Amino acid sequence: MERMDAIFSPESVAVLGASTTPGKVGHDIFQNILRGGYKGTLYPVNPRAKSIQCIKAYPSLLDISDPVDLAIIILPPAIALEAVKDCVEKGVKGIVIVSAGFKEVGGEGLEIENRIVDICDKAVIRIVGPNCLGVINPHRDIRLNASFSARMPREGNISFISQSGALCTAVLDFAADRGFGFSKFISIGNKADVDELDLLRYLHQDLHTEVIMIYMEELKRAGQEFIDVAKEITSGERPTPILVIKSGRTAAGAQAAASHTGALAGTEGLYDAIFDEGGIIRVDSVIELFDYANAFACKKIPAGNKIAIVTNAGGPGIVATDVTVTSGLELAVLGEETVEVLASHLPPTANLHNPVDVIGDASQDRYENALNAVIRDENVHCALVILTPQSMTNAIGTAEVIVKIAKKSPKPIVCCFMGVVDVSAGVKHLQENNIPVYKFPESAARALGKLYTATKWLNRQRLAQFELKHDKECAAKIIKSCLKKGQTYLGEFEGLDLLKCYGFNTLPTRLAENENQAVAISKEMGYPVVMKIVSSQIIHKSDAGGVMVGMKDENEVKAAFSKIIENTKNYNPDAVIDGVLIQEVAASGREVILGMNRYKDHGPLLMFGLGGVFVELFKDVVFRLAPIGRNNARRMVRSIRSFPLLNGFRGKPKTDLEAIHKHLVSLSHLVIDHPEIKELDINPLLVHPEGKGATVADVRIILDEPDSNS
């Protein structure tokens, strides 16, 4: 931890590669530290200059007689490597390498980067970068702007970690306009050493950081470790919200497509899972990142989801109401006393019910009385104040009364001051007093919605875990014997047997090689039966016309047998057909899918969603990294769009949700216990009405030697 302090709060900084030429990075960064009013001691290092911006320059780091905490290196890779060696000799504690030309260009650059990491690792020096914009700490005792942005942001409680340097400068510019205050600001570039995980841990300890924003392209270390750290930060001892914008929502392709899970997961499913499990709020745009960070920076979250809106204009009040509802909030029903108070203060034309309309000619008094009344109402958990500039409007006066009330109330109050010029003084006053203020009512309502998301996350209930017993050995035996035969695809026979070892209910299923066998088996099993093609070339059997349900007698079975063979041959003339399986018809139920796809460095990614043959059409699925317990399983099930369908929709019986939760946890155990399972689809799992369990109707498992994946 002390080493990371050297990066953000050094007592002395040396700039290696400080330059006398304006416009060069080595010049500008040095100048930014100088002009930013850095509180420590600054040393320019340059063998060819006597001084840099009138400060005595040192030919080498080793010529500085006092200790140096932090070295900023702005030198080409080969020279940077030598500079790093000097840093070790000098005993510096932290290094920021700003220059590019390392791993991102490959070849020699990559080699040098690796050598630098090795050297620093041995010397226990932390490195930020290379290929980054630098670090900023605006705290009044430090005032370090070691970046190539000339702008030193205002001191505040939001920390920002960015993988893109260019975005950082834009963000700083934007932040200045919104009076945004930062605690720590860091561009991590290639992440040769310090990465998101280190910074999350560090910022969680940092008492000046109360909101963390991240711009992320990809995570170097993700998986369970990242989730655990994020979860502790977002809901542990000192909950700190984490907001992430992750680029590449659409670009990522699937890793493998032999299963529905593989086709649907992709890296986006993986990241969504990591964020969901860690309680991280994912946003889609930089503007949202700011909007929400602003709201969280006021450090109040609503106790519930009831909102009061106070507005001087009808239209924006309605827009806000609409967004409120889609953001998970509800308009509060104001108490009798509140309405009485409002009536006494407001003109007869005013609307005394939510959204409270104080009418276009409202001065700050009316706002003050109305906001005071609604915020004291016990049915209200948060408030949104909307102001549009009209003839009697006093933006600054209104801002002042809002600040006064907000200071006394534990409930979050956010504002929407519409417009730019007329309301600017009021907006500025609100910003200076850390009251979130937006230009549009929808942004304000959405931000409140996010605060409520945090409330729900923090107050989530925890159910006791299931006690499940599995036959791990029996499963291992099946897997071993398949791999021994060189069989990596497990269908309805071995696949179902494997699932049985982990408590899944399966249906009697047998192979018929000809019509007569089909009839004999069906008779034994009892009509009606289901018939399906068995061929290792046919992955999705229905696509080939290879599934027929509900054959009721001998003639139907015979007809179905030849039809299934014919369909399959038409679909794929090269398919090797093993025969047709005869299966009992499952009791009726809702079709869901349970799946898993394994990701390198991250682990097994579980999927749950609406199942059946249209999985990829509706894409109503959710992901989690295994292992999961009962609570995560329950949250997965509740989070798909079709959840109401499972929960008893329009008079339909409620399905056995607990059975789904149990099976998801069992699946998690199965894939953790057996790393040979590379991909898996249970589709459909038929979920019967409450108390009646669930039945596997189809399964597809792909095995791999354990070393080549996981």
From ligand ADP, Mg ion, none, interface partner of 697 (C-beta below 5 to 8 A by class): ligand ADP
* End-to-end CA, the chain: 31
| 3 state DSSP class of 117 | helix
Q: What angle do CA 362, 364, 366 make, to 5 degrees?
A: 55
Burial zone of 708 (CB within 10 Å; 0-12 exposed, 13-18 middle, 19+ buried):
exposed
| 3 state DSSP class of 428 | helix
DSSP class of residue 549 equals E
From Mg ion, ligand ADP, none, interface partner of 542 (C-beta below 5 to 8 A by class): ligand ADP
Least distance to Mg ion from the beta carbon of 413, Å? Answer: 52
Q: Name the residue among 442, 348, 358, 353 with its Cα closest to residue 402.
A: 358
- Of the residues 193, 196, 492, 698, which one makes contact with Mg ion according to CB under 5 A: 698
**Three-state secondary structure readout of 628-660:** CCHHHHHHHHHHCCCHHHHCCCCCCCCECHHHH
Q: Name the residue among 159, 422, 443 with its Cα closest to residue 295.
A: 443
Select the span of 44-52, 504-512, 628-636, 696-704 touching Mg ion (CB under 5 A): 696-704
Least distance to ligand ADP from the beta carbon of 586, Å? Answer: 4
From ligand ADP, Mg ion, none, interface partner of 133 (C-beta below 5 to 8 A by class): none
Least distance to ligand ADP from the beta carbon of 640, Å? Answer: 17
Taking the least distance from each CB to ligand ADP, the nearer of 34 and 581 is 581
Site residues (vs ligand ADP, CB under 6 A): 507, 530, 532, 540-542, 547, 549, 583, 585-586, 591, 612-613, 683-684, 697-698
Least distance to ligand ADP from the beta carbon of 582, Å? Answer: 10
Least distance to Mg ion from the beta carbon of 525, Å? Answer: 20
Least distance to Mg ion from the beta carbon of 698, Å? Answer: 4
Taking the least distance from each CB to ligand ADP, the nearer of 210 and 591 is 591
Taking the least distance from each CB to ligand ADP, the nearer of 184 and 541 is 541
Bridge partners of residue 186, in order along the sequence: 135, 161
The residue type at 344: S
Question: How many of the other CB atoms lie within 10 Å of CB of 577?
Answer: 18
Question: How many of the other CB atoms lie within 10 Å of CB of 422?
Answer: 16
Least distance to ligand ADP from the beta carbon of 438, Å? Answer: 47
Site string for Mg ion, 271-290 (x = CB under 5 A): --------------------
Q: Which residue is nearest to Mg ion (CB)?
A: 698
Least distance to ligand ADP from the beta carbon of 612, Å? Answer: 4
640 contacts 624 by C-beta, under 8 angstroms: no
Structure tokens at 101: 């030309």
CA distance 664 to 676: 19
From ligand ADP, Mg ion, none, interface partner of 547 (C-beta below 5 to 8 A by class): ligand ADP
Least distance to ligand ADP from the beta carbon of 538, Å? Answer: 8
CA distance 626 to 674: 12
From ligand ADP, Mg ion, none, interface partner of 662 (C-beta below 5 to 8 A by class): none
Taking the least distance from each CB to ligand ADP, the nearer of 203 and 507 is 507
Q: How far is CA 379 from CA 59, 295, 319, 404, 473, in A?
A: 69, 21, 22, 21, 56
Taking the least distance from each CB to ligand ADP, the nearer of 433 and 488 is 488
Least distance to Mg ion from the beta carbon of 581, Å? Answer: 13
Taking the least distance from each CB to Mg ion, the nearer of 198 and 591 is 591
Least distance to ligand ADP from the beta carbon of 225, Å? Answer: 35
Least distance to Mg ion from the beta carbon of 680, Å? Answer: 12
Least distance to Mg ion from the beta carbon of 700, Å? Answer: 7
135 contacts 186 by C-beta, under 8 angstroms: yes
DSSP class of residue 587 equals P
Taking the least distance from each CB to ligand ADP, the nearer of 175 and 496 is 496
Beta strands in 130-174 (DSSP E): 134-137, 144-147, 154-162
Taking the least distance from each CB to ligand ADP, the nearer of 272 and 698 is 698
Structure tokens at 451: 């605060």
Taking the least distance from each CB to Mg ion, the nearer of 324 and 683 is 683
Taking the least distance from each CB to Mg ion, the nearer of 119 and 258 is 258
Taking the least distance from each CB to Mg ion, the nearer of 291 and 492 is 492
Least distance to ligand ADP from the beta carbon of 583, Å? Answer: 4
CA distance 479 to 154: 60
From Mg ion, ligand ADP, none, interface partner of 411 (C-beta below 5 to 8 A by class): none
Structure tokens at 369: 């009385």
CA distance 56 to 491: 75
From Mg ion, ligand ADP, none, interface partner of 636 (C-beta below 5 to 8 A by class): none
Site string for Mg ion, 631-670 (x = CB under 5 A): ----------------------------------------
Q: Name the residue among 254, 243, 352, 327 with its Cα closest to residue 291.
A: 243
From Mg ion, ligand ADP, none, interface partner of 257 (C-beta below 5 to 8 A by class): none
| 3 state DSSP class of 34 | helix
Task: Give Cβ neighbours of residue 5 (< 8 Å, ≥ 6 apart).
Answer: none
Taking the least distance from each CB to Mg ion, the nearer of 268 and 492 is 492
Taking the least distance from each CB to ligand ADP, the nearer of 632 and 655 is 655
From Mg ion, ligand ADP, none, interface partner of 586 (C-beta below 5 to 8 A by class): ligand ADP
Structure tokens at 346: 């407001």
Q: How far is CA 88 from CA 48, 81, 132, 426, in A?
A: 22, 11, 21, 52
Taking the least distance from each CB to ligand ADP, the nearer of 113 and 698 is 698
From Mg ion, ligand ADP, none, interface partner of 381 (C-beta below 5 to 8 A by class): none
From Mg ion, ligand ADP, none, interface partner of 231 (C-beta below 5 to 8 A by class): none
The β-bridge relationship of strands 55-56 and 51-52 is antiparallel
From Mg ion, ligand ADP, none, interface partner of 321 (C-beta below 5 to 8 A by class): none
The helix, strand and coil proportions of the chain, stated in percent and rounded to the nearest 5, come to 40, 20, 35
Number of residues this chain uses to bind Mg ion (CB under 5 A): 2
Show contacts with Mg ion in window 669-688 (CB under 5 A). 683
Helices and strands per DSSP (H, E), number in the chain: 23, 31
From ligand ADP, Mg ion, none, interface partner of 273 (C-beta below 5 to 8 A by class): none
From ligand ADP, Mg ion, none, interface partner of 511 (C-beta below 5 to 8 A by class): none
CA distance 541 to 519: 21
Exposure pattern of 627-662 as b/e (b: 16+ CB <10 Å)?
Answer: ebbbbbbbbbbeebeebebbeeeeeeeebbbbbbbb
The residue type at 323: V
From ligand ADP, Mg ion, none, interface partner of 591 (C-beta below 5 to 8 A by class): ligand ADP
161 contacts 135 by C-beta, under 8 angstroms: no
Taking the least distance from each CB to Mg ion, the nearer of 81 and 549 is 549
From Mg ion, ligand ADP, none, interface partner of 263 (C-beta below 5 to 8 A by class): none
Structure tokens at 477: 């035996």
Least distance to Mg ion from the beta carbon of 115, Å? Answer: 52
Least distance to ligand ADP from the beta carbon of 496, Å? Answer: 11
Task: Give Cβ neighbours of residue 177 (< 8 Å, ≥ 6 apart).
Answer: none
Taking the least distance from each CB to ligand ADP, the nearer of 150 and 585 is 585
Binding site for Mg ion (CB under 5 A): 683, 698
